[in-house]
Chain A
């Protein structure tokens, strides 16, 4: 007879479950080199190349600041889109999501873990770009500006998490990485993350407000005084609306009665 050890807590603490769930999701992705290496290294490496080396040669400090803002945004998009989109597609395909759903896990813990994982990766990537900017890039900002930028990047992960959820709820584990790449890279370019919209064809600039990354980049650029002058409220509102839309689509898809 397996008498359970006497236990004063009748129910396991939800907080502990959420925390463990998030930590193991982070570990799981950190140990997946095909995800962790590009996610953690590319934004910093690109910033070093375009924001520090090339900009330094042209002697333009403005470029280093512009790219600090935009490569931070570029950096936090990847863990959300790849980390959530691809892992959710795989979890669905491999029956792991079904198992999670029938285990006595509080309903929100699975989702929370994915969001927390993406935000933690986003935080790390944003910090790396900032450290490179402050040291090698010679970017000088007030402490409050650094802090605001870090906050925008980390919280700004959420709309891309929502988009990742939607993609992951639709596609197979095989198709998801390809589709994420098709979304991620063009969206980064078309939002002015690599080159300022000013120097790109006007049509791209007109289309830009369609992309969540444009709005997040504008918020980040505002901190370093290089945004296009749009209202903060509109950018925040657009991001919140897109988050809600993608979450809703993902929710509808995942809760489809089977």
Chain B
């Protein structure tokens, strides 16, 4: 960080999938995926439902076995007790026993870890104030997710896996959880978070890996992901046909909207020049930034077979 010299070693890799394949029946959930989580970072794994995010997490947790490839977590196998004592987990769809109280669930899971966080700290981080004596089944959906978050962090983990932690939460609850996650990362924990909320990745992630069809198809910081794919949207009315334009270099997508043609591209200047050269009656030219949402849709769009 001090100088521009590239001698700074990257932080160590805490968890990795290397060339991992996993099939369920005939469906390849993971198709040769490579993924690394480094110390101190928050990696957001973005992707649509069915992209393989949850399968990837379940392999890193040792809940599933890979067909081939290497799964390594904290220098060992994810099924080792010593490894599990240093990770925390929030699964996507878990219902805890309804008749146990929040405080009891917390004590139970804290007890598994060699040096857990204090209950008081868990309560603050997960926002469980006043809920300890309530039964889990009597809590609202948002409160239940907060309890699950508390169980994920109560062991003071070095590495935290959060599988779609804010799915189904309202905006306040989501932002509350984001705040807690930021505090954890500031405290030195590495986090792997899966999400299909783009804003979640933008709000939290140091690095983003975009998954589709069981593979990582793009990886980098948010800016890089944006830069790598469609940044700009060019719109105009032109006599040139959409299908011709679609064949130009660096045009990633085109469509017609209200008599205008819309072009997605990473090199808008070149496209505009070519458009103008090919049609001197071109009108209503507009160039705008595309958000990550557009980039995301583009990245994970099904490849034509």
Contacts and interface: CB of A to CB of B under 8 A. Distances in A.
Interface in A1-38: 1-2, 4-5, 7, 9-12, 16-17, 20-21, 24, 27-29, 31-32
Contacts of B116: 4
A257 B114 contact: no
Nearest to B57: A102
A17 B104 contact: no
B70 interface: no
Interface in B157-189: 187-188
Contact of A24 (B104, B113, B121): B104
B117 A4 contact: yes
B111 A17 contact: yes
Given A1-B188, A104-B84, A17 B112 contact: yes
B112 A12 contact: yes
Given A2-B187, A12-B114, A99-B89, A104 B108 contact: no
Nearest to B156: A4
A242 B108 CA distance: 33
Contacts of A20: 107-108, 111
A104 B112 contact: yes
Interface stretch (A51-59, A90-98, A129-137): A90-98
B22 to A, nearest CB: 10
Nearest to B186: A1
Contact of B63 (A2, A28, A31, A102): A102
Contacts of B97: 28, 96
Instruction: Summarize A's interface: helix, strand, loop or mixed.
Output: loop
Nearest to B95: A94
Interface string B265-290: 00000000000000000000000000
Contact of B100 (A9, A24, A101, A103): A24
Contacts, number: 85
A99 B111 contact: no
Contacts of B63: 98, 101-102, 258
A44 B177 CA distance: 50
B81 interface: yes
B14 interface: no
- The interface centre, meaning the residue of A28, A96, A99 with most chain B CB atoms within 10 A of its CB, is A99
Contacts of B62: 102
Contacts of B84: 102-104
A95 B54 CA distance: 13
Contacts of A103: 84, 89, 109, 112
Interface string B28-44: 00000000000000000
Interface of A: 1-2, 4-5, 7, 9-12, 16-17, 20-21, 24, 27-29, 31-32, 94-96, 98-99, 101-106, 257-258
Interface of B: 61-65, 78, 81, 84-85, 89, 91, 93-97, 99-100, 104, 107-109, 111-118, 121, 135, 155-156, 187-188
The 7 A-B residue pairs with the shortest CB-CB distance, nearest first, are: A4-B115, A104-B84, A31-B99, A94-B95, A95-B94, A104-B85, A102-B61
Given A12-B112, A27-B100, A104-B155, 17 more contacts: A1-B188, A2-B188, A7-B114, A20-B107, A21-B108, A27-B99, A27-B104, A28-B97, A95-B95, A96-B95, A99-B94, A99-B96, A103-B84, A103-B89, A104-B84, A258-B64, A258-B65
